[in-house]
Structure formats: C-alpha cells, structure tokens
C-alpha cells in the first residue's frame, strides 16, 4: 500500500510540475561566477512563449544598452528587452525559438525544458555547438 501511495504522490508531483511549465520569473546564473545575474520573465501569447529581462542584479548595469546588438535591439536598454522569442511547446520541450545574449549581441536557436528538480534548462545553439544554462525559479 505504501508503494502505491508513493507512486501516486510522485505522479501527482510530476503532473503539477509539468502543468506549471516555464511561465513565470526565472533567476539567471552567471556561468563564470555562479552568481545571480538577472531575472527573466517567461510568458505565453497564444501558443508561443517569450521572455524578457525584468531585473538586473548589478545596479551599475541596470541602465546598460545593447551596444553589440544589431537591428531592432541596437542601443536599446537591456532591462525590459525581450531575449526569448518564438518558442513552441513540443511535449516537455520548448523549442524552435531564439535567445539573445545581450552581452555579445548574438542571437542563437534555443530549446528549454524543466529538469527533474524543476529548474529550467536553457540551451542556446548554433549547428552542433551549444551551451546550456540552469535557471532557477524566482521565489
């Protein structure tokens, strides 16, 4: 009986975690320092997901502009900038979108998914080369 109850609890927990999805505010972590860098709010319009920077932890960088960006985002404020565009959900993965690295001014194809701990795995890639970051849900 205990095993059945444990399995039921695990199934419910996984269902709740998946139902929450990626919508909400996430803490980005600097790859090099391991410190909190910014907060990104992921939201849904129709069946497409987007994300924008809603907070920059370092007060000295809050008024920064995307100097290395090209096109629409060139010299625009980083705070408030939409950096995730056009993601579509395919099962447990959100893909077929792009992510902008405002520090480098580069846009990458991206895919996002929740890991077993409820953390958001954010993968930016070009062809076979990729980098994955772990973002934490903002509490």
CATH number at residue 42: 2.40.128.520
Does the residue 62 lie in any domain?
yes
CA 116 to chain centre: 16
The whole-angstrom separation of Cα 38 and Cα 62 is: 10
The whole-angstrom separation of Cα 13 and Cα 102 is: 35
Residues in the chain, overall count: 139
Does the residue 10 lie in any domain?
no
Q: In this predicted structure, what is the pLDDT of residue 32?
A: 81
- Work out whether strand 48-56 and strand 106-114 pair parallel, antiparallel, or are unpaired: unpaired
Does the residue 14 lie in any domain?
no
How many separate domains does the chain show? 1
The whole-angstrom separation of Cα 87 and Cα 101 is: 16
**Residue ranges making up the domain that contains 95:** 24-137
CB-based contact 94:87 (threshold 8 Å): yes
Q: Distance of CA 78 to CAs 1, 91, 92, 122, Å?
A: 54, 31, 29, 19
In the three-class reduction of DSSP (H, G, I as helix; E, B as strand; rest coil), residue 43 is classed as: strand
Tokens representing 49 are: 């997901």
**Tens digit of pLDDT at every position of the chain (139 positions):** 444 333 433 444 444 444 469 999 999 998 888 999 999 999 999 999 999 999 999 999 999 999 999 999 999 999 999 999 999 999 999 999 999 999 999 999 999 999 999 999 999 999 999 999 999 999 8
Does the residue 13 lie in any domain?
no
Does the residue 84 lie in any domain?
yes
Tokens representing 74 are: 């060139």
Q: In this predicted structure, what is the pLDDT of residue 84?
A: 99
Does the residue 43 lie in any domain?
yes
């Amino acid at each position: 009986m205990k095993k059945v109850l444990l399995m039921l609890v695990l199934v419910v927990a996984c269902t709740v975690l998946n139902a929450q999805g990626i919508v909400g505010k996430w803490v980005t972590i600097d790859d090099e320092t391991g410190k909190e860098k910014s907060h990104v709010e992921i939201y849904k319009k129709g069946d497409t997901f987007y994300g924008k920077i809603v907070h920059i932890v370092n007060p000295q960088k809050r008024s920064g502009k995307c100097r290395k960006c090209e096109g629409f985002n060139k010299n625009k404020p980083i705070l408030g900038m939409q950096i995730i565009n056009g993601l579509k959900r395919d099962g447990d993965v959100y893909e077929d979108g792009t992510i902008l690295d405002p520090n480098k001014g580069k846009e990458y194809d991206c895919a996002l998914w929740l890991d077993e701990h409820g953390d958001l795995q954010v993968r930016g890639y070009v062809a076979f080369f990729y980098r994955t970051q772990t973002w934490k849900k903002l509490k």
